[in-house]
Amino acid sequence: MQNNATATSPCDIRDLAFADQGKRHIEWAFQSMPVLQIIRKQFIKTQPLAGIRLSAGLQVTAETANLLVTLRDGGAKIVLCASNPVSTRDDVAASLVRDYNIPVYAINGEDHAVHESHLTAALDHHPQVTMDDGADLATGLHTKRQESLPDVLGGTEAADAAVGRLNAMAKQGTLKYPVIAVNDARTKHLFDNRYGTGQSTLDGIICATNILLAGLNVVIAGYGWCGRGIAVRAKGMGANVIVTEVDPSKAIEAVMDGFRVMTMADACALGDVFVTATGNQRILARDHFDRLKSGAILCNAGHQNVEIDLAALAKSASSHREIRPFVEEFGMRDGRKLYLLSEGRVIASAEGHPASVMDMSFANQALSVEHLLKNHASLEAKVYPVPDAIDKQVARMKLESMSIKIDRLTPEQEIYLASGCEGS
């Protein structure tokens, strides 16, 4: 254990000396998390988590810190470990310990053994509620701490893949407490996939390359929520957007939205910048590399690093170098040069999603925990979606945070709607 002599909470972190910087980061993020601010004020009054032991296995970031502070102020006794060892912000961890009195077990780059020891610390907390981003705590409880399971009232899970595993457990009857899958909230999707990804993808491209987007042909593969978010922002930056799709319904929607739609093979001859956002593999593959214009820039906003066929790209090239940070130049045998961003991994702003995007996600998590505690008696040991009422409540709070008031149905109008007369 490092220089944590003066820590006010038990912890295992890099260095308390980073706490000043971490505090600034947490406070800056808090500025852009107005929904969590509203929830925090409510929680301070209503104490919905009074005395509840909560273990969190989340990414240790400034935004997460604000979620935890909100839960703490709602009465929870919290222990935090990292769901992802490489994303831990050591400064944030330090400030959580020093300034917010929350025990943290997380060090950026921690090795497997240390990571396991941190997880163990979180399990030792005997949580009544788990908050997971990858099911580490839920899995740990079900495998190593079955004696603790009866005390667990419920949990939340933020990662889609983990939700799949938990669902499988629920089917087999091995899941022992209710879990809310927070990733599916509409407010989360709206801000994250559409608006968050739209901005961060373009910003990532500009930061990596410093190119001027206006007047360029930007080819976007996939017209799902991410794809259309990117398309509308690229158009907003003056680019001429081309969409490729495999689904005719989405393709015709892109046409009606004013975009050009064509096959990727045809788009290759026109595109200056390519962004894949399909969730499928080999969207840009061998045949495409042969057709691209020299200078074409390739990046991915979709899934992992499989959308651009990296092996085929390497094989097509006769030379290869990093020409700028995050920009690799592939020299083709015919003299053309192709540029790959971020090694084909998801391109994004340097800092990831804005705090205001995480605000929506974390607001759903905070209210979901409150919901679990209020309703645990009637909940079964399965995976639940975020209740619609919470989703709407988050939207309502976001509007409130912007000082935006909306109408409410009059009793008359409620009756009219209920009578089934409405149309359009």
CB neighbourhood size of 133 (10 A): 22
Distance, CA of 228 to CA of 295 (rounded, Å): 25
Task: State which amino acid sits at residue 318.
Answer: S
Checking DSSP bridges between strand 217-221 and strand 179-181, what pairing results, if any?
Answer: unpaired
Dihedral of alpha carbons 138, 369, 226, 224, sign: positive
Task: State which amino acid sits at residue 113.
Answer: A
CA-closest candidate to residue 202, choices 280, 299, 284: 299
CA-closest candidate to residue 370, choices 35, 30, 42, 33: 42
Nearer to a copy of itself, 1 or 406 (CB): 406
Nearer to a copy of itself, 44 or 323 (CB): 323
Nearest approach, Cβ of residue 186 and a copy of itself (Å):
6
Nearest approach, Cβ of residue 291 and a copy of itself (Å):
14
Nearest approach, Cβ of residue 114 and a copy of itself (Å):
28
Q: Provide the CA 115 distance to its chain's centre, in angstroms.
A: 21
Nearer to a copy of itself, 121 or 231 (CB): 231
Nearer to a copy of itself, 203 or 290 (CB): 203
Nearest approach, Cβ of residue 218 and a copy of itself (Å):
10
Contacts of 61 (CB under 8 A, 6+ apart): 29, 87, 89, 92, 352, 358
Q: Which DSSP string do the residues of 214-239 spell out, in sequence order?
A: TT-EEEEE--SHHHHHHHHHHHHTT-
Nearest approach, Cβ of residue 249 and a copy of itself (Å):
5
Nearest approach, Cβ of residue 309 and a copy of itself (Å):
10
Nearest approach, Cβ of residue 199 and a copy of itself (Å):
6
Nearest approach, Cβ of residue 45 and a copy of itself (Å):
20
Nearer to a copy of itself, 116 or 257 (CB): 257
Nearer to a copy of itself, 176 or 396 (CB): 396
Nearer to a copy of itself, 226 or 366 (CB): 226
Q: Is 298 helix (H, G, I), strand (E, B) or coil?
A: strand
The answer to whether 94 and 15 are in contact (CB under 8 A) is: yes
Distance, CA of 398 to CA of 187 (rounded, Å): 10
Nearer to a copy of itself, 17 or 237 (CB): 237
Nearest approach, Cβ of residue 248 and a copy of itself (Å):
4
Q: Which DSSP string do the residues of 355-385 spell out, in sequence order?
A: HHHHHHHHHHHHHHHHHHHHHGGG--SSEEE
CA-closest candidate to residue 151, choices 126, 123, 120: 126
Nearer to a copy of itself, 235 or 291 (CB): 235
